[in-house]
């Protein structure tokens, strides 16, 4: 996998929205933060643009992203927020210049569309907090983001969950938002998970939806040759009046029981305040022990 150049003081970072609308005031704190890191901010035209729930029309969002993608002075693109909308423009983006001169694409949630699509080019991307929620991020979350974008090697050691499946593995790190991964199945943006370590997280979904999405990933072979599974936040889950009968973690446990790979629950990633930065496409090791989970970049 190709690693884009990490940023350095004085570099330009672009803020765009490929999905839901967002106003300038909602990214002000993120701008202030990056300025304290001696980075220059370029605000895309989609910031402040409204087209119903989107940050401008599909064409406007594509053109804004394309401009930042093709500008050699821009060293990274930090997607301002998620929501929904990136999949509407992904097939119309010209990645030919980007593939010759890759730069970091940063975000999570709906930005999983970009992570998955770009992973298939053999280029690493960054799963990290976004400008809209940087104000509520924990210090470890923000510190991890700073270390990763400047190219400092990091790792995470977290307490073990009783629901974990013990074991150790190595492999390329892939994944993101479960709903997005599910929606990409069968497309050219779908992930090949063979020999890799998969991360999943989700927000605001019904429990039966979680089961349906995981069943679909299973039927698509996502777990057949997987090395390990990392489960981040399964946040604000819903149930029907007639209960589904299982919580999200139990649903995941039932899906993976027929396989033989380690599983780490409660990992600090996703729609949670402690959303640590991760490099998708990087080679990592995962050790799930009785008392702790150790995650390292190789």
pLDDT tens digits, 72-96: 999 999 999 999 999 999 999 999 9
DSSP alpha helices (H): ranges in the chain?
28-36, 58-70, 96-100, 112-119, 139-149, 178-184, 207-219, 248-256
Report yes or no on whether pTM surpasses 0.85.
Answer: yes
Query: What single DSSP character describes residue 236?
Result: S
Answer yes or no: are the C-beta atoms of 75 and 13 closer than 8 Å.
Answer: yes
Question: 10 Å Cβ neighbour count for 155?
Answer: 11
Q: Which residues pair with 41 in a beta bridge?
A: 13
For the segment 154-166, the average pLDDT, to the nearest whole number, is: 97
For the segment 109-132, the average pLDDT, to the nearest whole number, is: 98
Answer yes or no: are the C-beta atoms of 297 and 279 closer than 8 Å.
Answer: yes
**296 phi and psi, to 5 degrees?**
-135, 150
The closest of 106, 105, 103 to 134, measured between CA atoms, is 106
For the segment 201-225, the average pLDDT, to the nearest whole number, is: 98
Distance in angstroms (rounded) separating the CA atoms of residues 276 and 269: 5
For the segment 281-286, the average pLDDT, to the nearest whole number, is: 98
CA dihedral 184→190→196→199, nearest 10 degrees, is: -20
Query: What single DSSP character describes residue 273?
Result: S
Could you tell me the pLDDT band of residue 235, with boundaries at 50, 70 and 90? very high
Catalytic residue among 63, 201, 205, 287: 201
User: What pLDDT score was predicted for residue 101?
Assistant: 97
Confirm whether 109 is a catalytic residue: yes
Catalytic residue among 141, 179, 271, 287: 271
For the segment 280-293, the average pLDDT, to the nearest whole number, is: 98
C-alpha distances (whole Å) from 32 to each of 28, 35, 64, 135, 221 are 6, 5, 22, 11, 44
Strand 283-288 and strand 292-297: pairing? antiparallel
The closest of 184, 178, 180 to 207, measured between CA atoms, is 178
Count of positions (residues) in the chain: 298
Distance in angstroms (rounded) separating the CA atoms of residues 179 and 200: 9
Could you tell me the pLDDT band of residue 34, with boundaries at 50, 70 and 90? very high
Confirm whether 238 is a catalytic residue: no
Could you tell me the pLDDT band of residue 116, with boundaries at 50, 70 and 90? very high
**131 phi and psi, to 5 degrees?**
-50, -35
Catalytic residue among 17, 109, 144, 179: 109
User: What pLDDT score was predicted for residue 210?
Assistant: 98
User: What pLDDT score was predicted for residue 55?
Assistant: 98
Structure tokens at 165: 């499946």
The closest of 266, 263, 187 to 232, measured between CA atoms, is 266
When the pLDDT of each residue in the chain is averaged and rounded to a whole number, the result is 98
Q: Which residues pair with 51 in a beta bridge?
A: 54
Confirm whether 201 is a catalytic residue: yes
Give 239-282 pLDDT, tens digit per residue: 999 999 999 999 999 999 999 999 999 999 999 999 999 999 99
Distance in angstroms (rounded) separating the CA atoms of residues 99 and 211: 36
How do the residues of the chain divide into helix, strand and coil, expressed in percent and rounded to 5?
Answer: 30, 25, 45
């Amino acid at each position: 996998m190709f690693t884009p150049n990490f940023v350095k003081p004085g570099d330009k970072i672009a803020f765009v929205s490929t999905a839901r609308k967002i106003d300038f005031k909602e990214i002000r704190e993120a701008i202030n933060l990056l300025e304290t890191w001696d980075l220059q901010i370029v605000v895309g035209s989609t910031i402040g643009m409204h087209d119903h729930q989107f940050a401008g029309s599909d064409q406007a969002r594509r053109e804004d992203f394309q401009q930042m993608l093709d500008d050699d002075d821009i060293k990274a693109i930090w997607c301002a927020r998620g929501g929904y909308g990136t999949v509407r423009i992904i097939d119309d983006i010209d990645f030919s210049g980007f593939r010759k001169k890759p730069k970091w694409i940063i975000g999570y949630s709906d930005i999983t569309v970009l992570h998955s699509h770009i992973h298939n080019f053999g280029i690493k991307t960054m799963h990290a907090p976004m400008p809209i929620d940087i104000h509520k991020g924990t210090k470890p979350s923000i510190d991890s983001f700073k270390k990763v974008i400047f190219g400092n090697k990091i790792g995470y050691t977290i307490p073990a969950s009783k629901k974990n499946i013990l074991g150790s593995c190595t492999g390329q790190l892939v994944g993101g938002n479960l709903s997005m991964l599910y929606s990409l199945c069968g497309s050219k943006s779908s992930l090949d998970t063979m020999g890799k370590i998969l991360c999943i997280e989700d927000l605001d979904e019904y429990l039966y939806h979680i089961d349906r999405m995981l069943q679909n990933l299973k039927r698509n072979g996502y777990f057949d040759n997987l090395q390990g599974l990392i489960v981040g936040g399964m946040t604000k889950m819903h149930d029907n009046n007639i209960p589904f009968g299982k919580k999200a973690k139990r649903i995941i446990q039932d899906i993976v029981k027929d396989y033989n790979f380690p599983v780490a629950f409660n990992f600090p990633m996703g729609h949670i305040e402690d959303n640590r930065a991760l490099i998708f496409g990087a080679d990592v090791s995962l050790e799930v022990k009785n008392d702790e989970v150790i995650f390292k970049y190789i």
